[in-house]
């Protein structure tokens, strides 16, 4: 059995990565990989620290309402679990949700699921959400809607202008958006070469979300009526939301 990587080893690796990224001779391809690795090292550091506090993978508290991957978008009364700050608990939910069985009444996640790998992490997350929810508990999930942009292929100039204005106007990728297919690619893979943003790893529509959560054991998966008291109003346009009931 391989011994786990020690914290000093991770620190040394992070220093080596920083040195390579600062070296102008480091190739573009290697730099992309190193940036992704550096992000994973940061996530691992936070997760390890929390794991030391909760070595059995279950926290002692039992929140009734939980937000997953909320980032800076906080919801009053919700316990926020995220891989990076700010959060009530720093935890990599790709490794599981650190809550007890049948303990949560309501869960919410928005523009999180598309950032974890499919099928392993996405399906594991769906099963874990089902496990921690109490009977009759509900999970609301919102993601960029792949069907929204695919319906308009091969071209929709009006939609293109609105997408650029809403999603990309403040980014540095405008010169690279030359066709409607470029916008579709951004929905599927959003800026995987920009260290400022976390890339999209899988695309979803209503049917895919329904299949994912039904496969995990949920009884029903239905469209969710957008509620700005929970969700970020900036996310509503171009997104699909479902509510899954255990």
Torsion of CA 209, 180, 175, 166, to 10 degrees: -50
User: What is the rounded CA–CA span in Å between residue 246 and residue 129?
Assistant: 9
DSSP 1: -
Angle between helices 206-215 and 120-132 (to 10 degrees): 60
Let me know: does 64 contact 105? Beta carbons within 8 Å. yes
Tell me if the pTM is above 0.95: no
2: pLDDT confidence band, cut at 50, 70 and 90? very low
Cite the beta strand spans of 45-160 per DSSP E.
Answer: 65-68, 79-82, 89-90, 104-110, 133-144
Condensed to tens digits (0 to 9), the pLDDT of residues 164-221 reads: 999 988 888 889 999 999 999 999 988 767 777 889 999 999 999 999 999 999 999 9
């Amino acid at each position: 059995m391989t011994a786990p990587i020690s914290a000093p080893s991770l620190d040394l690796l992070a220093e080596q990565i920083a040195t390579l990224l600062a070296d102008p001779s480091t190739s573009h391809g290697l730099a992309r990989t190193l940036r992704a690795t550096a992000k994973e090292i940061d996530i691992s550091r936070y997760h390890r620290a929390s794991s030391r506090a909760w070595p059995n993978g279950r926290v002692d508290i039992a929140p009734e309402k939980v937000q997953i991957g909320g980032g800076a978008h906080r919801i009053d009364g919700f316990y926020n679990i995220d891989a990076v700050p700010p959060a009530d608990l720093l935890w990599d939910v790709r490794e599981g949700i650190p809550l007890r069985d049948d303990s949560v009444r309501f869960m919410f996640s928005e523009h999180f699921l598309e950032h974890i790998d499919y099928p392993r992490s996405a399906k594991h997350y769906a099963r874990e959400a089902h496990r921690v929810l109490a009977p009759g508990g509900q999970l609301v999930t919102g993601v960029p809607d792949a069907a929204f942009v695919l319906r308009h292929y091969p071209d929709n100039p009006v939609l293109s202008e609105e997408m650029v204005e809403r999603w990309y106007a403040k980014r540095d990728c405008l010169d690279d958006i030359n066709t409607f297919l470029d916008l579709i690619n951004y929905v599927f893979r959003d800026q995987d070469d920009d260290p400022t943003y976390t890339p999209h790893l899988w695309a979803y529509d209503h049917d895919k979300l329904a299949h994912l959560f039904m496969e995990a054991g949920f009884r029903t998966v239905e469209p969710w009526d957008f509620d700005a008291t929970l969700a970020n109003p900036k996310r509503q346009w171009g997104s699909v939301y479902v509510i899954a009931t255990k």
